[in-house]
Amino acid sequence: MSRHADRPYDLVVFGATSFVGKILTRYLVETCSGENPVRWAIAGRSESKLNALKSELGDKNLPVIVADVSHDKELAELCEQTRVVISTVGPYALYGEPLIQACVESGTDYCDLAGEVQWIRRMISRYEVEAKKSGARIVHCCGFDSIPSDMGVWFLQTQAQEVFGEPCQHVRMRVKAAKGGLSGGTFASMINLAKEAAADPALRKEMANPFSLCPEGHRSEARQPSLKSAEFDRDFQAWLAPFVMGAINTRVVHRSNALQEARYGKEFTYDEAIMTGRGVKGRLMAYGMAAGLGLFFTAAAFKPTRWVVEKLVPAPGEGPSPEEQENGFYDMRFIGRTSDDKAVITKVTGDRDPGYGSTSKMLGQSGLCLAFDLPDDAEGGFWTPASLLGDRLFKRLTEHAGLRFEKLETR
């Protein structure tokens, strides 16, 4: 009998009426039917909005659970009814902790879209010991940040082991192309992070640490690259700019390495950037993107200019149309080198816009993977997608979430 089989639901989507939540629930309606339908429910603080969503989805039998992050009892009751909670309620640094606590105390598995390094670090330090005792498996970063990066490195290292018989000591990811903007929720999280960092010198120091999400004692003597400005990449023959998601993705990848007992090597290095093209045009775009990113975080950090930033970016709950989601995509390239300079190049692509369409499918499949694919004795604690779900999630992503992982060449 599977873990918590006596609970009425396999999974509950918390924050179902949010912009991403609605996309996710539509995806689950399409995915969770068939001969062995998934027992699932939608949850949030507004019963009227949940019932309206239920009508939109056209599923009269879809259960509704009313729960608010400010009511511990409601969250506890929600968790006692399900084996897995998928949360889309962000910024998580502002609203996420009560649900983490409820899941940990009830031994309920959990996944989310969090990309907030400082909050994830706090949750690990406060709740990991108890999660290991209760058996709750907590998996953050199950959207565009950071599944394509985390599972992309996992795939590259699998290829390296097969071809070279050893992992790649140095891996770099470059975003070659993408269509689709960041979500309003992502911008809200970034603004809140800039605000917190401006007020806390200790947090700024922690955010500069590439191993900030790793267990105590996991460090590397190798210098970790971190792109701060424009740079030319000789491997891909393109100019580079800093990639805004690199701050969370690199830390998740390092945690995956640590939780897999240094599967990628004890002196493993990893960094990310976005390709802007070749020649003068590519160079100018790289410098412009680097300057714009720096200006965004500087303006977001201080109250007099923060309101301007908030007016210019999408608000939480805003996002692209279904057609724009359908037409979006991303193409990410990875190059890994072994200690003796053998190289493998791989590619990860997604068939929807990164921030919404693809993210929702990845999140949904992460929740289903937690519910159905793990052995009952899988250890509780705070995990990453690659370290806990690995090949099980890889199969789901390629079969049901529109992701493709390809080995392009070895050198």
Same structural domain for residues 250 and 116?
no
In this structure, what CATH number is given to the domain that contains residue 140?
3.40.50.720
pTM, two decimals, is 0.94
pLDDT tens for each residue of 188-213:
777 877 788 788 787 777 778 899 99
pLDDT, tens digit (0-9, with 9 covering 90-100), for 67-93: 999 999 999 999 999 999 999 998 898
Sheet strand arrangement including 329-337: 231-233, 238-242, 269-277, 170-179, 329-337, 343-350, 403-410
Task: Quickly state the pLDDT bin for 1 (edges 50, 70, 90).
Answer: very low
Distance CA 44, CA 179 (A): 30
113 or 32: which leads in pLDDT: 113
Q: What CA dihedral angle connects 316, 319, 325 and 330, to 10 degrees?
A: -60
Domain identity same for 36 and 181: no
Alpha helices in 315-386 (DSSP H): 322-327, 359-372
Total domains, the chain: 2
Q: Please check whether residues 63 and 112 belong to one and the same domain.
A: yes
Between CA 182 and CA 175 the distance in angstroms is: 14
Average pLDDT value for the chain: 92
* 216/233 Cα distance (integer angstroms): 33
One domain for residues 369 and 242: no
Please report which confidence band the pLDDT of residue 34 belongs to, taking 50, 70 and 90 as the band edges: low
Whole-number percent of the chain with pLDDT over 90? 74
Residue 2 belongs to a domain:
no
Are residues 366 and 351 both part of a single domain? no
**Helix or strand (DSSP H, E) at 337:** strand 329-337
Residues 192 and 242 grouped into a single domain: yes
Burial (0-12, 13-18, 19+ Cβ within 10 Å), 406: exposed
**Does the pLDDT value for residue 305 go beyond 80?**
yes
What is the average per-residue pLDDT within 318-346?
92
Q: Which domain holds residue 140?
A: 9-144+358-400
Quote the pLDDT of residue 297.
Answer: 82
Q: Is 222 found in the same domain as 188?
A: yes
| In-domain check, residue 3 | no
- Specify if 195 maps to a domain: yes
What's the pLDDT at 35? 57
Residue 205 lies in a domain: yes
Domain assignment present for residue 308? The answer is yes
Greatest mean pLDDT among 13-17, 208-212, 244-248: 13-17
| More confident of the two residues 145 and 189 | 145
Q: Do residues 115 and 187 both lie within one domain?
A: no
- Is the model's pLDDT at 274 over the cut of 70? yes
